[in-house]
Amino acid sequence: MNKSLFLKTFFSYLLIMALVLLLVFLFASGIIENQYRENVQRGLGQLAASLQRNFVPLLAARDTAALDVLVKELGKETDARLTVIATDGRVLADSEGDPRHMENHADRPEFVLAMQGKPAEFSRLSSTLHRAMLYRAVPIRRDGRVIGVLRLSLFVSAIEQMLVPARRKINILLAVLSAIALVLAFLYARYLTAPIKRLTQAAHQVAGGDFSPRVRIDRRDELRQLADAFNHMVEQQGALLESVQRQQLELETILASIGEGLLVLDRDGKIILANQSFKKMCLQPECPGRPYWEMLRDSRLNELIKRSLETRQDSRGELDINDGVYLVHVSPLPGEGPLIVTFSDISEYKRLERIKRDFVSNLSHELRTPLTAIKGFVETLAEESSAQNRNYLDIINRHTDRLVNMINDLLTLSEMEEPRMRLEKKRIDLLKLVDNVAIIFAGRCREKNIHMEVDAGANLPAFFGDPFRLEQLFINLVDNAIKYTEHGEIRVSLAKREGEIEIRVRDSGPGIATEHLPRIFERFYVVDRSRSRQQGGTGLGLAIAKHIVLLHDGRIEAVSQPGQGTEFIITLPLVPEA
């Protein structure tokens, strides 16, 4: 294994052992050398003590020739260099050289100490032989007086030569220890790293998707704990993977069974997930990983997705895809998560809606003619009938008017629900428009003692919209407020908000219960049916108002509580003139 843990461990232990053996070698060699030097010095001292008596008579007789001969003979016998020095430093005899040609030794440190009556030991370079020497000097006494100095010396190289056998044995011992250390380091490194290698191989198998391997280590240490933890982790991972795979299979089955198209997009617009319904819808078998615009090229879908990405809010819209109509709902997940796009097929609903709309429109057109005829005959009969019959004819006429109004409202709704419906937009002064509507209802307000107030905020801008439809919107809302307000006030306020115009129509009527508020904009839905019949309402006014607001891309909502009146809030976006 390249740079494996085994090699690192092996060489680490090998390096430690090598350093230890090296230190042992250096320490042992130093100890042996010092011990050997001490033994040599001790031997030289004992030799000097035993030889110095031989030189006392010759020194006393000043027989230098005989002294030199004796010194040379003793030097050969002892394998040491012997030198006899006079008290003034002159060399009297030397076993290795001619004393006549030798320097005065008065300045030699060993001589100085010996003259003081102290044995001296020194190791230095010989000025005569120019070689490293080990010196031992002792005083020669006669009658307690120093009459000369005996100096014994050995070559340091000779001592080193004597140490060679000892060092050879040390080297052999170290070589044996090194071999043993090498084997021990190898065995211990393998013992230490073998379980780790097995764990590594098992981890590679697990990483490859195989959760079957288990690592068994017959040791009672941290590696055993690591192996047990690894085995437990693999079991947990295997169970988790099995659970995830099962859930994924269930999810895929659920997604495949969903009739609605489902699309999951990342922030770059690439498809993360698409179910079978979506693939069938867009006729593309391979979707994941591709941008959504390659599947569906529709600018309205682009706008919905872009709006949800920017605002992180839901957006909805209708799309025509491959001869079908789909309701598209784009929902971003929390944070910076992906987008969930659902496609609900509403083709059949749209078809039924079109059939219903056509039916209502055709029926309304067909009913208008007989109702007009009935109204004409009723009015004619009313002129010629008695007072009692005229009362019945008035009831018929009132209900005929209600039917006519209902048919007119149905025709208005059908017209606004047509896909081809287009607004006749113009530049409008909304305040003036509301004032005109207030004039229309001024008489009815006086009859019911209702105070109507129109309030516009400062700098109210002109609005670009359909004046006829907006007038119809205000008429329906004000008419509805007057119908359900017996006394009090009606307040219409207009104000500019950021990029929008906010319109509020508030009355002081009986209010609407909370459970009715979500449905008041449905056609024919009335909160109080008896009151509606009494007032002659058709149940279509608020539905028409909502359609007018939606055609102007606005929003309308109602806020009310029983006994506290009702307020309608309309928000219309300010758009530039076309």
Q: What pLDDT digit, counting tens, does each position of 290-328 carry?
A: 888 877 888 888 888 888 888 888 888 888 887 788 888
- DSSP track, 279-324: HHHHT-S--TTSBHHHH---HHHHHHHHHHHHH-S-EEEEEEETTE
Split at pLDDT 50, 70, 90, the class of 176 is confident
Split at pLDDT 50, 70, 90, the class of 1 is very low
* Residue range 6-14: mean pLDDT, rounded: 73
Question: What residues does each domain of the chain span?
Answer: 7-162, 218-252, 258-341, 350-417, 426-573
- pLDDT of residue 536 exceeding 70, the answer is no
Q: What is residue 253's predicted lDDT score, i.e. its pLDDT? A: 77
State in words which class domain 350-417 has. Answer: mainly alpha
Q: What is residue 506's predicted lDDT score, i.e. its pLDDT? A: 92
Q: What pLDDT digit, counting tens, does each position of 78-97 carry?
A: 777 888 888 888 888 888 77
**Residue with token string 């569906």:** 296
Task: With 0.75 as the threshold, say if the pTM is over it.
Answer: no
Of the spans 31-35, 127-131, 455-459, which averages the highest pLDDT? Answer: 455-459
Q: What is residue 107's predicted lDDT score, i.e. its pLDDT? A: 82
Alpha carbons 63 and 55: distance in angstroms, whole number:
10
- pLDDT of residue 246 exceeding 60, the answer is yes
- pLDDT of residue 163 exceeding 70, the answer is no
The burial of 453, by beta-carbon neighbours within 10 Å (0-12 exposed, 13-18 middle, 19 or more buried), is given as: exposed
The closest of 208, 191, 202, 204 to 232, measured between CA atoms, is 202
Q: What is residue 571's predicted lDDT score, i.e. its pLDDT? A: 92
Q: What is residue 157's predicted lDDT score, i.e. its pLDDT? A: 59
Of the spans 12-21, 52-61, 158-167, 427-436, which averages the highest pLDDT? Answer: 427-436
Token code pair at residue 414: 């059908």
**Domain covering 7-162: architecture:** 2-Layer Sandwich (3.30)
Range of lowest pLDDT (6-10, 226-230, 350-354, 442-446): 6-10
Range of lowest pLDDT (183-187, 251-255, 412-416, 492-496): 412-416
Please tell me which residue, 422 or 454, carries the higher pLDDT value: 454
Centre a 10 Å sphere on the Cβ of residue 157 and count the other Cβ atoms it contains. 11
Split at pLDDT 50, 70, 90, the class of 504 is very high
What average pLDDT does the chain have? 79
Range of lowest pLDDT (242-256, 337-351, 461-475): 242-256
Q: What pLDDT digit, counting tens, does each position of 250-277 carry?
A: 777 777 777 788 888 888 888 888 887 8
Task: Return the half-sphere exposure (C-beta side, CA atoms, 13 A cut-off) of residue 142.
Answer: 13
Centre a 10 Å sphere on the Cβ of residue 241 and count the other Cβ atoms it contains. 12
Please tell me which residue, 476 or 134, carries the higher pLDDT value: 476
Q: What is residue 165's predicted lDDT score, i.e. its pLDDT? A: 74
Split at pLDDT 50, 70, 90, the class of 492 is very high
In order of 35, 436, 460, 491, the CA distances from 432 in angstroms are 125, 6, 11, 15
State in words which class domain 426-573 has. Answer: alpha beta
**Domain covering 258-341: architecture:** 2-Layer Sandwich (3.30)
Alpha carbons 558 and 102: distance in angstroms, whole number:
133
- Measure the CA angle with vertex 576, ends 570 and 578; round to 5°: 115
In order of 69, 91, 124, 249, the CA distances from 154 in angstroms are 19, 18, 11, 97
All residues at 6 or more sequence positions from 11 whose CB lies less than 8 Å from its CB, including other chains: none
Domains 7-162 and 258-341 share a fold: yes
Q: What is residue 159's predicted lDDT score, i.e. its pLDDT? A: 61
Q: Where are the beta strands (DSSP E) in 131-237?
A: 132-142, 145-155
- The length of the chain in residues reads 578
Of the spans 115-124, 390-399, 552-561, which averages the highest pLDDT? Answer: 552-561
Please tell me which residue, 424 or 159, carries the higher pLDDT value: 424
- Torsions phi, psi for 564 (to 5 deg): -125, 15
- pLDDT of residue 137 exceeding 50, the answer is yes
Alpha carbons 141 and 117: distance in angstroms, whole number:
9
The closest of 95, 98, 97, 67 to 81, measured between CA atoms, is 95
The residue type at 542: L
Q: At 210, is the secondary structure helix, strand, or coil?
A: coil
- pLDDT of residue 177 exceeding 50, the answer is yes
Range of lowest pLDDT (200-214, 329-343, 435-449, 491-505): 200-214
Beta bridge partners of 152: 82, 136
Q: What is residue 322's predicted lDDT score, i.e. its pLDDT? A: 79
Q: What pLDDT digit, counting tens, does each position of 270-298 carry?
A: 888 888 787 877 777 777 778 888 778 88
Rg of the chain over all Cα atoms, to the nearest angstrom: 60
Range of lowest pLDDT (80-89, 109-118, 518-527, 549-558): 518-527
Strands 271-274 and 81-85: unpaired
Q: What is residue 491's predicted lDDT score, i.e. its pLDDT? A: 92
